[in-house]
């Protein structure tokens, strides 16, 4: 079920996350705003169900590139941009099919031209996968300082009448510097994929596969995001407890060794159910989506940054991160702060 790197040759170099910043669009959609549009829903009921009070929404002229520029420029207020020798850009709502958004970002940020840059298309597991890619690039001697960006504008995919998804998703960009650290511990990654669940979270139209039949009773267009909530919940409950167990075993750790568990911030109901099923102590389990909503691949780095700013994470703490969702795709690893 899980692909892990523990059976492979050990990497020469380990990694550290040295900088984290994020940017949220200025437009805010509150539960009260949704209640005005959908009177049958109360703002308190939305909060009770998904743990969200507001979410940030990109404007018409704000794309993942615009958000990424802003989160990355915050990084460069305290980090020399000339050190960056690779850009990894995770998004499922790119500015264009081509060219690659990461290439445009190199120019917009004024980075060196003798660097690598690539996009990768993953959703809620994207941050963990991005760290795995960064580790591989560093281990291969291809890069020493990687700008990893998770930037998403899922709200542009959502039908205005889709009150369920509008209550959950928000837009954001998070930028992280991943660097070589020979003194760091060599934590392994556990990654998983099950493409049989692809149609349970999907935007059917927009690329080149458009030969499908529309349901005449469906009020939503195929350009809109479709999510089968119950199936996504079932997938998560069936796979993520095993992912946590596998990650601990692969790294020779126990639950007691982990100071904090930071999962993809999908919704509070799902997270609380997962925590209880996985038997993670509540004081070690971080939930933080009340003011941002589900920002897809950006949720984990946003949570990490907020924990640092609030003093919840201390230097030397061990954090187990797990991302999971659209694909289906999932991944987890451990990070020393």
Task: Write out the two tokens for 9.
Answer: 């040759």
Count other C-beta atoms under 10 Å from residue 257's C-beta.
12
Bridge partners (DSSP) of residue 175 are 21, 149
As a whole number of angstroms, the distance between CA 160 and CA 258 comes to 41
Q: How far apart are the first and last CA of the chain?
A: 29
Within 8 A by CB and 6+ apart from 158, the residues are 165, 166, 169, 224, 225
Active-site residue set: 124, 264, 294
Q: Which residue has the tokens 């949570």?
A: 303
Q: Which of 19, 316, 10 is nearest to 186 (CA)?
A: 10
Distance between CA atoms of 124 and 150, rounded to whole angstroms?
A: 10
C-alpha torsion sign, points 49, 50, 54, 56:
negative
Long-range CB pairs of 273-280 (<8 Å, 24+ gap) are 273/237, 274/236, 274/237, 274/240, 274/241, 277/237, 277/241, 278/240, 278/241, 278/244, 279/255, 280/244, 280/255
Contact of 177 with 146, CB cutoff 8 Å: yes
The Cβ of residue 256 has, within 10 Å, a number of other Cβ atoms equal to 9
């Amino acid at each position: 079920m899980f692909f892990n790197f523990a059976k492979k040759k050990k990497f020469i170099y380990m990694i550290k996350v040295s900088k984290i910043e994020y940017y949220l669009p200025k437009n805010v959609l509150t539960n009260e705003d949704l209640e005005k549009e959908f009177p049958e829903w109360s703002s308190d009921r939305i909060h009770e169900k998904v743990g969200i009070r507001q979410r940030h929404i990109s404007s018409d002229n704000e794309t993942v590139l615009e958000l990424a520029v802003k989160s990355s420029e915050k990084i460069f207020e305290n980090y020399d941009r000339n050190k960056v020798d690779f850009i990894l850009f995770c998004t499922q709502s790119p500015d264009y099919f081509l060219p690659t958004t990461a290439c445009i970002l190199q120019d917009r940020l004024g980075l060196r031209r003798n660097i690598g840059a690539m996009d990768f298309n993953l959703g809620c597991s994207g941050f963990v996968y991005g760290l795995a890619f960064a580790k591989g690039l560093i281990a291969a001697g291809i890069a020493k300082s990687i700008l990893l960006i998770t930037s998403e504008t899922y709200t542009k995919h959502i039908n205005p009448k889709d009150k369920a998804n509008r209550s959950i998703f928000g837009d954001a960009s998070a930028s992280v510097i991943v660097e070589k650290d020979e003194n760091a511990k060599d934590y392994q990654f556990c990654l998983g994929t099950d493409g049989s669940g692809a149609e349970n979270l999907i935007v059917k139209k927009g690329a080149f596969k458009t030969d499908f039949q529309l349901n005449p009773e469906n009020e939503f267009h195929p350009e809109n995001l479709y999510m089968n909530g119950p199936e996504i919940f079932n997938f998560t409950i069936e796979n993520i407890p095993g992912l946590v167990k596998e990650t601990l075993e692969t790294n020779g750790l126990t639950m007691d060794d982990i100071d904090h568990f930071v999962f993809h911030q999908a919704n509070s109901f799902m997270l609380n159910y997962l925590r209880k099923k996985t038997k993670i102590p509540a004081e070690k389990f971080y939930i933080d989506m009340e003011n941002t909503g589900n920002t897809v691949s950006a949720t984990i780095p946003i949570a990490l940054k907020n924990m640092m700013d609030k003093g919840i994470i201390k230097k030397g703490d061990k954090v187990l991160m797990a991302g999971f969702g659209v694909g289906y795709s999932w991944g987890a690893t451990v990070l020393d702060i």
